[in-house]
Structure 1
């Protein structure tokens, strides 16, 4: 597919996945593919995709994974390797369906972990860099305690009604993510092995006050990656720096994107 509408649905396997395409189509310019957090969707990125498009001149593709936003609900309970499945089975089909030729992955939280798994398990010359916002490579105590707290808030406060604005099946979105992370077997989830196989530049952004992960996540990437790793710690931000410190986050990612996509255009644009 090369004639992507600005928004709509992509048929990926049995699922209809909602998407938005901002800026030039994938066959016209480099494309930044954005992978949302564990409770995110197309709409919850806010205006960050538009700002990223304006700052880089690249196309920006955002989509909601199955179970999120207006996409097809997911079968529950989610398998504990749901991020591996997204990276290995869904993303390749999404790239083919959209005519993706070259660009970057930008992922937040679960989306950052999916991006790491993809880049570490596919030697895909189309993906020229990976920017990860608040990634998880292992499960930490702080992650589990915060996620347990979110469950209590979902069941006792107005969090459910707030999230229902963004997800057509809000229980599917919430429990698909929350049940997996709180499963005792998930404590052994560890994707650090994939980092050694990433062959493109990596940028990691983490809020200093991230309530879901510590600096240990960054240390793991620095220990395991052989590729260049740019680390930016963002003060005044927690787990969602693109919402809490948008200007700093935008500048960091857009600088990284411009450097990767346009400095090396001649040598790495084989698929363009």
Structure 2
């Protein structure tokens, strides 16, 4: 059984510390010299909610994998203010830029799940010379009716007794803020016109978009938009019998797709 070296960091920023964890395959001599994968979590996510996936990916790719808790999530610093409507755009110049500088990340692969996929795309568009590949998983590129309906349904579920405890397991006292940051932002009137269409035209690297056919938060129009870019080669993996969390529902299929994409199209 192969193993990984795991490291934990807290990156200091003017507003607080950001928690970062990395996995490097112990058996790979190239892991320290190849571009790492940087992972961007979803609206309710955290480093720990990726579960075994980062380690599985590191072993499959022979690359270091880096994940972090966005401010207000997981083990990163507490936020109490309302989430800004341009928070997706701000990730590239804010938390990600701080982590990239602190850890000395030069070339990188951006990989994001759900809204994290949109953030990964913004980082790819913002660092065109450094981002060598973009991988999205169940990522949104705009707000559609299915997204809004799915979030409304989830908000009702979390309003039931005990449901917020599912978030407290990973976010502690931040759980209520995490939930509001997701539902209040995406259901607000000012966010309904959000789109990545213009930003995506600036992406210049190969793209892999993974999406479940049964995704309750976004139709196939999203990955189609991600893979219709004037960038390098673009590939769409539409998974049957799969919902919004492909890396948990079909981890082996997702890992294999990413490994194949990186082997054939990423240096």
> How far has the Cα of 1:22 moved from its partner?
0.6
Is residue 256 of structure 2 the alignment partner of residue 230 of structure 1? no
Give the structure-1-normalised TM-score. 0.89
Matched residue SS, 2:169: coil
Q: 1:106 aligns with which of 106, 111, 114?
A: 111
Pick one of 70, 74, 87 that aligns with 2:75.
70
SS at match of 1:156: coil
1:249 lines up with 2:254 in the alignment: yes
Matched, 1:172 2:173: no
Unpaired runs of 5+ residues, structure 1, are 265-272
| C-alpha distance in 1 between matches for 2:181 and 2:265 | 35
Cα distance in 2 between the residues matched to 1:148 and 1:50: 33
Q: CA deviation at 1:137?
A: 0.9
Root-mean-square deviation (Å): 1.9
The count of corresponding residues between Structure 1 and Structure 2 is: 258
Contact 1:76 1:176 in 2 (8 A): no
Q: Does residue 23 of structure 2 align to residue 22 of structure 1? A: yes
Contact 1:192 1:224 in 2 (8 A): no
Q: Give runs of aligned pairs for residues 142-221 of structure 1, distance below 5 A.
A: 142-168=146-172, 169-221=174-226
Q: Does the C-alpha gap of structure 1 residues 47 and 260 become closer, same or farther in structure 2, counting only changes over 3 Å?
A: same
| TM-score for the superposition, normalised by structure 2 | 0.91
Which residue of structure 1 aligns with residue 56 of structure 2? 51
Q: Would you say the 8 A contact 1:26–1:99 is kept in 2? A: no
Match of 1:94 in 2: 99
1:175-213 CA distances to partner (integer Å, 9 max, x unpaired)?
112211111111100111111111100000000100000
Relative to structure 1, the CA distance from residue 152 to residue 232 in structure 2 (aligned partners, 3 Å threshold; closer, same or farther) is same
Distance 1:191 1:38, change over 3 A: same
1:102-140 deviation digits (Å, cap 9, x = unpaired): 2201100111000111212332x2210010001111100
SS at match of 1:252: helix
Please give the alpha-carbon distance, in whole angstroms, between the structure 1 residues aligned to 2:62 and 2:32: 14
* Contact persistence 2:110–2:121 (CA under 8 A): no
Question: In structure 2, do the counterparts of structure 1 residues 186 and 128 end up closer, same or farther at CA, with 3 Å as the change threshold?
Answer: same
Contact 2:39 2:65 in 1 (8 A): yes
Residue 5 of structure 1: how far off its partner (Å): 7.2
Cα 1:40–1:73 shift into 2, 3 Å: same
Tell me which residue corresponds to 1:270: none
Check whether the contact 2:146–2:218 (CA below 8 A) recurs between aligned residues. Answer: yes
Q: Greater relative contact order: 1 or 2 (C-alpha under 8 angstroms, separation 6 or more)? A: 1
1:138 to 136, 142, 157: 142
Is contact 1:236–1:245 with CA below 8 Å preserved after alignment? no
Aligned counterparts of 1:249 and 1:225: Cα–Cα separation in 2: 24
Q: Partners in 1 of 2:263 and 2:238 — Cα distance?
A: 20
Compare the two structures and name the one with the higher helix fraction.
1
2:43 and 2:76 map into 1 onto residues whose CA distance is 14
Deviations 1:156-179 (A, max 9, x none): 143311111011210121111221
3-state DSSP of counterpart to 2:153: helix
Shift, 1:224, TM fit: 4.1
